[in-house]
Amino acid sequence: WAGRAPYSLPPNYAVVFFDFGPAAGLADSSDSFTAAWLDFDDDGYLDLYVANGVTGTGAPNALLHNQQNGAFLNVATAAAVADSGQTIGTAAGDFDGDGLTDSYAVNIGQLNRLYRNLGDGTFAEVAERAGVLFPVEGGYVAFFFDLDNDGHLDLFASTMSAFPDVLNSMVTGEAIEPNRPFLYRNLGDGTFADIAVAAGLKRSFGSMGAGLGDLDNDGFVDIYLANGGPQMARLEPNALFRNMGDGTFADITATAGTGSLGKGHGATFADFDQDGDLDLYAGLGGHYDADTWDNALYRNDGPAQHYLSIELVGTQANRSAIGAHVAAFAAGRTIRAQRQSGFGFGSSNEPLLHLGLGSATRVDSLHVLWPGQPPQRFFDLPVDCRIRIAQREAHYQMLRRSP
């Protein structure tokens, strides 16, 4: 899984798949490991940013611009995002709230990059000014999320720490700086502050994938790290951190029973049984034939709280609504979520936004901010259900649950 192959883009026709990557202009055989969908020019068509640094050949990253005819064109050089810093993790999100999708690149042995979208087809590299240069150990996991529901996207970036550092951290409970995750709180002025240690994320991990979602429906997003590496001896538990809602996270791996040693390579949160809480699927197994492991599906049987699941359908914005934000106002609180793709190697959530509402029994109002398009507002919504919101339609549609 760490060699060269052309980009692959398989469309789905019923149950038949075929690779039309070369025909779509995706014949590049660079060493790609992670990618993120985004609509960087808000034209309603999804583009793709590809990280090409896994084997250290110096191949630049690719920004594949959707030509709206089934083909893509690599515009990374013209857009000033052709990073050759051995990028193995990438994330996309609007960190400065200007309505344009920005991009973050995690590099091996080099400082990371934050590309601010200038709205003219180009990006400016602002990582140093924003304060998000680290970690330099390199990690596959990076994602934007709103950890405190303040309306500003925060940033998480992992390391792929050496196993001796991980073992030391297991014993001491702390990392040898700076071999730890970085949790950057968005200060709302274009800059970030690293709060990982204060937030309780102070150990070393070898994270390849991650899951992101509100597991206990309390309105705050929790984090699951899929850990491990190709070495046979590297038995490192996956880790589940509960967002306590006060800027800190608690390691609940042991009590939740999700700490598999099976070489976590990817993770996804989805309500598989449609009972109103997010379940967890972990892709497990190492690089070698003798280190295989069965994948794990963890059913969530936690205490019941209220929720609302939302399927967004773009019409003027991209149909998948990637880049859209929602804000639910309920019981005096604001709960936010963002539609995005990719949380590291082999990791992405289901295409629904799941809002945990705690004890709220109604949603007073729901605001949907579409990328590059006017917002929508809905009032007095029910809870404990799934709805579909189509862009520019005045009413939402109730969806039937079918576990």
Summarize pLDDT for 205-222 with one digit per residue, the tens: 999 889 899 999 999 999
- Cα 265 → chain centroid: 14
Q: Per residue in 106-123, pLDDT tens?
A: 988 788 999 999 999 999
Q: Going by DSSP bridges, is the β-strand pair 376-381/363-369 parallel, antiparallel, or unpaired?
A: antiparallel
Q: Per residue in 182-195, pLDDT tens?
A: 999 999 999 999 99
Examine residue 196 and state whether it is found in any structural domain, yes or no.
no
pLDDT of 254 strictly over 80: yes
Q: What is the mean pLDDT of the chain?
A: 90
CATH number, position 376: 2.60.40
Taking a C-beta distance cutoff of 8 angstroms, is the pair 205, 196 a contact? no
E-state strands within 26-126: 34-38, 47-51, 62-66, 72-74, 87-93, 102-107, 113-117, 123-125
Q: Is the peptide bond before 181 cis (omega within 30 degrees of 0)?
A: no
Return the ∠ at Cα 210 (arms to 41 and 9), rounded to 5°.
Answer: 50
Work out the percent of the chain whose per-residue pLDDT is above 90.
67
Taking a C-beta distance cutoff of 8 angstroms, is the pair 30, 59 a contact? yes
Position with higher pLDDT, 263 vs 148: 148
Q: Which of 112, 90, 82, 116 has the alpha carbon at shortest distance from 102?
A: 116
Query: Alpha helix (H) ranges present in 113-261?
Result: 127-130, 163-172, 196-199, 253-256
Q: Is the peptide bond before 371 cis (omega within 30 degrees of 0)?
A: no
Q: How far apart are CA 318 and CA 310, in angstroms?
A: 16
Examine residue 374 and state whether it is found in any structural domain, yes or no.
yes
Amino acid found at 57:
T
β-pair partners for 73: 65
Taking a C-beta distance cutoff of 8 angstroms, is the pair 242, 209 a contact? no
Number of domains in the chain: 2
Segment 155-174 mean pLDDT? 91
Q: Which two tokens stand for residue 111?
A: 């400082």
Query: Alpha helix (H) ranges present in 267-349?
Result: none
Token look-up 């990438």 returns 90
Q: What DSSP character marks residue 199?
A: H
Segment 233-248 mean pLDDT? 93
Q: Which two tokens stand for residue 397?
A: 């549609």
Examine residue 21 and state whether it is found in any structural domain, yes or no.
yes
pLDDT of 4 strictly over 70: no
Q: Which two tokens stand for residue 95?
A: 């960190």
Band of residue 389 on the pLDDT scale cut at 50, 70, 90: very high
Amino acid found at 38:
L
**Residue 13: its pLDDT value, please?**
45
Examine residue 283 and state whether it is found in any structural domain, yes or no.
no
Identify the domain boundary among 87, 107, 132.
132
Examine residue 201 and state whether it is found in any structural domain, yes or no.
no
**Residue 349: its pLDDT value, please?**
85
What are phi and psi for residue 319, nearest 5 degrees?
A: -60, -35
pLDDT of 270 strictly over 50: yes
Examine residue 231 and state whether it is found in any structural domain, yes or no.
no
Residues 6+ apart with CB under 8 A from 294: 262, 284, 285
Taking a C-beta distance cutoff of 8 angstroms, is the pair 201, 180 a contact? yes
Q: How far apart are CA 271 and CA 368, in angstroms?
A: 22
Identify the domain boundary among 112, 132, 152.
132
Examine residue 339 and state whether it is found in any structural domain, yes or no.
yes
pLDDT of 138 strictly over 80: no
**Residue 84: its pLDDT value, please?**
81
pTM for the whole structure: 0.92
**Residue 18: its pLDDT value, please?**
57
Residues 6+ apart with CB under 8 A from 218: 243, 245, 305, 356, 358
Q: Per residue in 316-333, pLDDT tens?
A: 999 999 999 999 999 999
User: What is the extent of the structural domain holding 343?
Assistant: 306-399
* Helix and strand numbers, DSSP H then E, in the chain: 5, 29
DSSP states along 368-399: EE-TTS--EEEEEE-SSEEEEEETT-SS-EEE
**Residue 346: its pLDDT value, please?**
77
Identify the domain boundary among 78, 101, 132.
132
2-16, 327-341, 387-401, range with the lowest pLDDT? 2-16
pLDDT of 134 strictly over 80: yes
Examine residue 289 and state whether it is found in any structural domain, yes or no.
no
Strand order of the β-sheet with 397-399 is: 353-358, 306-313, 385-390, 397-399
**Residue 6: its pLDDT value, please?**
57
Taking a C-beta distance cutoff of 8 angstroms, is the pair 103, 48 a contact? no
Residues 6+ apart with CB under 8 A from 77: 60
Q: How far apart are CA 39 and CA 51, in angstroms?
A: 17
Q: Per residue in 29-86, pLDDT tens?
A: 667 778 899 999 999 999 999 988 766 667 899 999 999 998 999 999 999 999 887 8
